[in-house]
Chain A
Amino acid sequence: MNLKILNSREKKKIAEKLSREYGGEDKMFGQHVLLQSGGDIWIVSRDCVELDLSRLKVDSLGLQVLRKWQPTIHGIQLLLKKSQMQELDKKEAMEFIKGKAVKKSGRIMSYRGKPIDAAEAVTGGYRRKKTNS
């Protein structure tokens, strides 16, 4: 797999896209590096990218934050914690995690102020978005 390191302009474009869709900060990626292969994006610490990895049998690196241009659950939990979230109570949060619809509406559901996952509208409410995580 060929991975491209995104420059600051390309990083900003992705951050703006996520911000428009979910809220959150334009500077969500900080000083970290984004690697791209098609519609898949990984975030990696700068120090990892600066190492010579040629003699390592690398299985993976960093954290995949977009898969086919959709945020992964781990990307949402890491990057979108300052976005607009719909707070669920404990019972709702457990139902939401299990894939059931909750009556509250929102793009991202949270529990105790921390993101759980992205949501999509279905009959009866909102449930976890199928993000291929």
Chain B
Amino acid sequence: MNLPAGLEEDLRILLRDEYQEFLECAYRPARQSFRINTLKAELDFPFEFSGERIPWCPAGHYSASQVSDSVEHFQGLVYVQEAASMLPAEALDPQEGDTVLDLSAAPGSKSTHMAALMGNGGCIVANDVDYARLKSLRFNLNRMGVINTILSWDDGASLEPDILFDKVLLDAPCSNAGQLRDNPEALTTWSRKKVKQSSELQKRLIIRAADLLKEGGTLVYSTCTFSPEENEEVVDHAMEERGLRVEPIRGKFGRHPGVKYWRGREYAREVVDTARLYPHDNDTGGFYVAKLRK
């Protein structure tokens, strides 16, 4: 696996003397993992393919063998999901009576996770702009037995539902560099231009997300990439433009703090309370999570 030159340059700056440790982990295939669908199965259901638990997600397990071709997968008892990507729904912590927006929801790992945390109560509006991916989202919601979700097909940046939400999840489209372990092809499309374009879109989306949040509501913003332009800069933009405040994320996972300075720009001090997950932190893919309150 060869990293694009620009990405390698950025990672060397971000990681400094941890860069080699990062590379050694990045070259290893990612561990397979899954989440128990508690709408249909109990947390202690003895799956044959269960491995060790994932510390930050009570329903999450690493898998000892193939999951996706199992009977249990067909039955909708489990969802194959990358371990780090289980963090956003846990951080948002939606409750049974909440009204929740998943602004860029397809193919549904986080919507189905939230529905399970909510016990199929309350309401999730799961939105996506891409109709082909919306079909996958619909299938996954059905397979998981989710009944508390409304599927919306719209551009998240211009969504105007006349509803304010208790909680919003924005797992934003991004340059996908964090998928390098289980989807190295994602690196072939990485470029500085893509990072810039992604950042512009993410800023529009997070402003929309903030505007659809009730006063006192919680927004979790996440990506599967490393560029500060797509992570801390977007969070900083929401703080500046809409007065959101960062809250620390609780949970048992290794992390690096958000970066406050990047390429001549200084971000709000609180971005250090956002979480960067590099592969070598927890032996996962790369991820970024920020929790904000209005």
Contact = CB atoms under 8 A, between A and B. Distances in A.
Contact of A44 (B77, B97, B147, B160): B147
Nearest to A43: B147
Contacts of A52: 162-163
Interface residues of A, number: 33
B205 interface: no
Contact of A53 (B41, B143, B150): B150
Contact of B138 (A43, A44, A59): A59
Nearest to B143: A74
Given A51-B99, A63-B147, A77-B76, A56 B71 contact: no
Given A59-B151, A60-B151, A74-B143, A112 B72 contact: yes
Contacts of A47: 97, 99, 121-123, 148
A63 B123 contact: no
Interface in A77-132: 77-78, 81, 90, 93-94, 97, 111-112, 114-116
B146 A114 contact: no
Interface in A55-86: 55-64, 74, 77-78, 81
A58 B97 contact: no
Interface string B53-85: 000000000000000000110111100000000
Chain B interface extent, by class: 35 or more
Interface string B146-185: 1111111110000011110000000000000000000000
B117 interface: no
Nearest to B160: A55
Tell me what chain B mostly uses at the interface: helix, strand, loop, or mixed.
loop
Contacts of A62: 147-150
A54 interface: yes
Given A60-B138, A77-B76, A97 B161 contact: no
A74 B138 CA distance: 12
Given A63-B145, A94-B71, A56 B120 contact: no
B40 interface: yes
A55 B120 contact: no
A79 to B, nearest CB: 9
Contacts of A61: 149-151
Contact of A58 (B72, B121, B150): B150
A54 B75 CA distance: 34
Nearest to A92: B71
A48 interface: yes
B144 to A, nearest CB: 9
B224 interface: no
B161 A56 contact: yes
Given A59-B134, A63-B145, A77 B163 contact: no
19 contacts: A45-B122, A45-B147, A45-B148, A47-B97, A48-B148, A51-B123, A52-B162, A56-B150, A59-B138, A59-B151, A63-B147, A64-B142, A78-B40, A93-B71, A97-B71, A111-B71, A114-B40, A114-B77, A116-B74
Interface of B: 39-41, 71-72, 74-77, 97, 99, 120-123, 125, 134, 138, 141-143, 145-154, 160-163
Interface of A: 32, 43-45, 47-48, 51-64, 74, 77-78, 81, 90, 93-94, 97, 111-112, 114-116
